Amino acid sequence: MKIALDVMGGDFAPQNPMGGVKLALEELRQIDKIYLVGQPEAIEREMRAQGIPMSDRLEIVSAMQIVDMSDSGLDAVRKKKDSSITRAVDLVKEGKADAVVSAGHTGAAVTASLIKLRTLPHIERPAIAAIMPSMTMPWVLIDAGANPDSLPEHLVQNAIMGSAYAKHVLGRDNPKVGLMSNGTEEEKGNALCKETGKLLKKTPGLNFVGNVEGHDLWETPPDVVVCDGFTGNIILKTSEALAHAMFAMIKEGIMSTTRTKIGGMLAKPAFKAIHKKTSADEAGGMPLLGLNGITIISHGSASAYAMKNALRMACETIRHSLNPHIEAAIGVHLDNNASAGEEEG
Amino acid sequence: MKIALDVMGGDFAPQNPMGGVKLALEELRQIDKIYLVGQPEAIEREMRAQGIPMSDRLEIVSAMQIVDMSDSGLDAVRKKKDSSITRAVDLVKEGKADAVVSAGHTGAAVTASLIKLRTLPHIERPAIAAIMPSMTMPWVLIDAGANPDSLPEHLVQNAIMGSAYAKHVLGRDNPKVGLMSNGTEEEKGNALCKETGKLLKKTPGLNFVGNVEGHDLWETPPDVVVCDGFTGNIILKTSEALAHAMFAMIKEGIMSTTRTKIGGMLAKPAFKAIHKKTSADEAGGMPLLGLNGITIISHGSASAYAMKNALRMACETIRHSLNPHIEAAIGVHLDNNASAGEEEG
């Protein structure tokens, strides 16, 4: 497997992406090559600093421009043709790499992937699938932020893609698909949600279980939760922020007296396990589904450990040949629509 | 102050609403009367069970019908004219009570309040203001679920109402108002959010601070966060569920070994403080703003303690004469729109 890594993307670049490379070279033997895309001098300096020797599993690909957070996604791609994200996506487009991984500007990664790789047939827009933690098992939140304005048919495509990911990559049998709403009752929802619910009910091959609400997400989530990218991004970030805040408050509370300090020290193993369970670092990245290619988007603040996990996610997505499965599932949906149309007509 | 309580509303009715009454009679001396609205026999039985003596601060008002969770809000009001929520709102409409408190069917409480009390002049729709916890200070999330489909002008009204609540009830000086989005940059957002942002910028008397994202809500939230009722309800419930799940996971983790059990016992005071900080029970209820009257909506699963706090919130909202302040703030907004129209015309 060959992966193109946007070494300059993220709040702690190039340090953390290269830290991820170091871990991945040891742990992920299935990786034949990582293309290190970015400013060669900065990459080489970081390799020296972290003691990463050059090998035939690494290849530096020059990209001199850097995307700023103030750039729009489209500008980043159109005006910065020599940026690390556009060059990295080019490697996938040219067939040199099987997947691209970036912790940089999400809009730029989405736009570069969309323009250069294009979507799979009959997929109108790619969607970000976030692998979310819960008390029981991880679940797929789709769309976690690619399309803030979605139409019902986009959400149906999200459901099909998310279901394919849950089945073929996460290994879920007949994955349950829920529709994000403000209540579990069928009449709850905004206009987009209600219209989508009607379509999902008649989508073949989907195990649609109806509306889910915020209360369901942590205890008994379905395998896949479908929503527009505005709502999904808010769920993702609110959850991350709250989990982070809870740990910060617990730490502060525990440090306040000698008694609680000792208690905290003894209880530490319990906290560590929960921190691991709720941390976005474990998934490491989020696949951008619906592309004619594989793009994994990582958190801007991703640690070296998270970057390694994002590289692992790229490997998993390659290994399970996800895209042909998505194409097949969309095909079933279209055939059904066509025959339904004939019956109606 | 006189308050009408929907004794039959909520998952644990009449027990918890009456438990709230018992606590409120002791703690909230400013309450002159609580109208106990519901089935008299059930109320009297509960008073005996909890040892609440009849007094001139209590008055039972008969309402024999019960709203089911499967009723639509409109049906609940139109078809069940003798339900506890409609009778309770009637008491406010007739001027006998200053506010109504209900932990029952939210849609029914919103619809009954809207139909019977009507909105304040120039407010098109009422909105639920949830008082949310954070690491620093509580903040107002508006709309937390009254209107799943909102227009930009509704969100501007939410901003004005939320700001008035933060200023006059929570005592915030020049409250900061943020717009919920999928990123802090101005170009982020769905169509509703972007259009609302343009309007909020030109709304006089508002301290509008721009977009906020999920990451901002727990560490440094503004005083007020504005969104549609679909998004707000999802934020509210996701946050409640995650805080609940974190405590459940911590408990499970701590109970797993003798070492962590002892640690947990010692650290307990720290957890208790955080539980109190993050629990919806502390606010107890959510004011439904924009009505020509005061309605406080409590959580379906509200404890007796939460119901007492909801009654206290009703008292606070009455004491600060919130509605005239909202009317004044809406007036400034309209005057400005009128003069802007003249300038443009």
Q: What is the mean pLDDT of chain B?
A: 94
Percent of chain A whose pLDDT exceeds 70 = 98
**Residue A65 Cα, gap to closest chain B Cα (Å):** 22
Mean pLDDT of the B76-94 span: 94
Best CA proximity match to B264, nearest among B256, A134, B241? B256
pLDDT at residue B312 in the model: 97
Task: State the Cα–Cα distance between residues A156 and A161, nearest whole angstrom.
Answer: 9
Q: Is B151 on the interface with A (CB under 8 A)?
A: no
3-state secondary structure of B273: helix
Answer yes or no: do B254 and A267 touch at CB < 8 A: yes
Q: From residue A344, give the alpha-carbon distance in Å to each of A55, A283, A339, A340, B333.
A: 62, 44, 9, 6, 51
Same domain, B186 and B222: yes
Question: Residue A16 above 70 pLDDT?
Answer: yes
Mean pLDDT of the A175-179 span: 98
Question: Would B335 be classed as within a structural domain?
Answer: no
Question: Would A285 be classed as within a structural domain?
Answer: no
Same domain, B165 and B310: no
Same domain, B268 and B308: no
**Are the C-beta atoms of B102 and B4 separated by less than 8 Å?**
no
Cα–chain center distance at A167: 16
**Are the C-beta atoms of A200 and A177 separated by less than 8 Å?**
yes
Question: Residue A270 above 90 pLDDT?
Answer: no
pLDDT tens across A104-158, in order? 999 999 999 999 999 999 999 999 999 999 988 999 999 999 999 999 999 999 9
Answer yes or no: do A262 and B260 touch at CB < 8 A: no
Mean pLDDT of the B149-167 span: 97
Q: Which domain holds residue A104?
A: 1-123+290-345
Answer yes or no: do A256 and B270 touch at CB < 8 A: yes
Task: Kindly state the tokens that stand for A157.
Answer: 């495509």
Answer yes or no: do B269 and A260 touch at CB < 8 A: yes
pLDDT at residue B338 in the model: 77
Task: Report residue B345's pLDDT band, with 50, 70 and 90 as the boundaries.
Answer: very low
Same domain, B306 and B191: no
Task: State the Cα–Cα distance between residues B325 and B165, nearest whole angstrom.
Answer: 9
Mean pLDDT of the A57-83 span: 90
Residue with tokens 């009722």, as numbered in its chain: B229
SS3 track for chain A: CEEEEECCCCCCCCHHHHHHHHHHHHHCCCCCEEEEEECHHHHHHHHHHHCCCCCCCEEEEECCECCCCCCCHHHHHHHCCCEHHHHHHHHHHCCCCCEEEECCCHHHHHHHHHHHHCECCCCCCCEEEEEECCCCCCEEEECCCCCCCCCHHHHHHHHHHHHHHHHHCCCCCCCEEEEECCCCCCCCCCHHHHHHHHHHHCCCCCEEEEEECCCHHHHCCCCEEECCHHHHHHHHHHHHHHHHHHHHHHHHHHCCCHHHHHHHHHHHHHHHHHHHHHCCCCCCEEEEECECCCEEEECCCCCHHHHHHHHHHHHHHHHCCHHHHHHHHHHHHHHHHHHHHHHHC
pLDDT at residue A343 in the model: 56
Best CA proximity match to B192, nearest among B224, B155, B218? B155
Q: From residue B10, give the alpha-carbon distance in Å to each of A232, A250, B13, B46, B54.
A: 29, 31, 5, 15, 23
Mean pLDDT of the A94-107 span: 96
Task: Kindly state the tokens that stand for B302.
Answer: 């509200």
Q: Which amino acid is at B266?
A: L
Same domain, A193 and A296: no
Looking at the structure of chain A, the number of domains it has is 2
Last residue of one domain, picked from the residues B248, B281, B314 = B281
Surface of A (268-287) touching B: CB under 8 A: 268-271, 273-274, 277-278
Q: Is A71 on the interface with B (CB under 8 A)?
A: no
Question: Residue A92 above 80 pLDDT?
Answer: yes
Question: Would A251 be classed as within a structural domain?
Answer: yes
pLDDT at residue A341 in the model: 63
What CATH number does the domain containing A208 carry? 3.40.718.10
Cα–chain center distance at A159: 15
Residues in A closer than 8 angstroms to B68, CB to CB, are none
pLDDT tens across A311-336, in order? 999 999 999 999 999 999 998 888 87
Of the two residues A272 and A44, the one the predictor is more confident about is A44
Residues in A closer than 8 angstroms to B229, CB to CB, are 182
Same domain, B223 and B248: yes
For chain B, the distance separating the N- and C-terminal CA atoms, rounded to the nearest angstrom, is 48
Of the two residues A291 and B335, the one the predictor is more confident about is A291
**Are the C-beta atoms of A59 and A28 separated by less than 8 Å?**
no
Q: Is A65 on the interface with B (CB under 8 A)?
A: no
Surface of A (199-228) touching B: CB under 8 A: 213-219, 228
Question: Would B113 be classed as within a structural domain?
Answer: yes
Question: Would B298 be classed as within a structural domain?
Answer: yes
Nearest to B256 among A148, A191, A270 (CB): A270
Best CA proximity match to A187, nearest among B149, B155, B150? B149
Task: Report residue B117's pLDDT band, with 50, 70 and 90 as the boundaries.
Answer: very high
Neighbours of B335 (CB within 10 A): 11
Task: State the Cα–Cα distance between residues A331 and A325, nearest whole angstrom.
Answer: 10
Same domain, B155 and B220: yes
Task: State the Cα–Cα distance between residues A284 and A304, nearest whole angstrom.
Answer: 9
DSSP of B58-83? EEEEE--B---TTS-HHHHHHH-TTB
Helix A15-27 / helix A40-50 crossing angle, nearest 10 deg? 60
pLDDT at residue B341 in the model: 63
DSSP B53: -
Tell me the sheet residues that pair with A119: A291
Nearest to B145 among A182, A228, A257 (CB): A182
pLDDT at residue A147 in the model: 94
User: Please, is A164 exposed, middle or buried when counting C-beta atoms within 10 Å of its C-beta (0-12, 13-18, 19+)?
Assistant: buried
3-state secondary structure of B171: coil
**Are the C-beta atoms of B31 and B312 separated by less than 8 Å?**
no
pLDDT at residue B343 in the model: 56
**Quick check: bond before A14 cis, omega within 30?**
yes
Question: Would B332 be classed as within a structural domain?
Answer: no
- Radius of gyration over every alpha carbon of chain B, rounded to an integer in angstroms: 21
pLDDT at residue B9 in the model: 93
Same domain, B107 and B208: no
Same domain, A209 and A344: no
pLDDT at residue B162 in the model: 98
Among A71-85, A167-181, A230-244, where is mean pLDDT lowest?
A71-85
Task: State the Cα–Cα distance between residues A16 and A302, nearest whole angstrom.
Answer: 7
Same domain, A152 and A274: yes
Nearest to B217 among A217, A241, A248 (CB): A241
Handedness of CA B55, B57, B62, B68 (dihedral sign): negative
Close Cβ partners of A89 (under 8 Å, ≥ 6 residues apart): A4, A100, A109, A112, A113, A116, A117, A293, A295
**Quick check: bond before A143 cis, omega within 30?**
yes
Question: Strand B176-180 relative to strand B224-226: parallel, antiparallel, unpaired?
Answer: parallel
3-state secondary structure of B176: strand
Task: Kindly state the tokens that stand for B141.
Answer: 């999330």
Among A238-252, B48-62, B116-130, where is mean pLDDT lowest?
A238-252
Instruction: Show the CA angle centred on residue B160, arms to residues B129 and B97, nearest 5°.
Output: 55
Instruction: Show the CA angle centred on residue B252, arms to residues B248 and B255, nearest 5°.
Output: 140
Question: Would A235 be classed as within a structural domain?
Answer: yes
Question: Strand B295-298 relative to strand A285-289: parallel, antiparallel, unpaired?
Answer: unpaired
pLDDT at residue A345 in the model: 43
Task: State the Cα–Cα distance between residues A250 and A314, nearest whole angstrom.
Answer: 34
Answer yes or no: do B187 and A72 touch at CB < 8 A: yes
Q: Which amino acid is at B131?
A: I
pLDDT tens across B189-242, in order? 999 999 999 999 999 999 999 999 999 999 899 999 999 999 999 999 999 999
Question: Would A86 be classed as within a structural domain?
Answer: yes
Instruction: Show the CA angle centred on residue A302, arms to residues B141 and A99, nearest 5°.
Output: 115
Same domain, B119 and B254: no
Q: Is A137 on the interface with B (CB under 8 A)?
A: no
Same domain, A12 and A60: yes
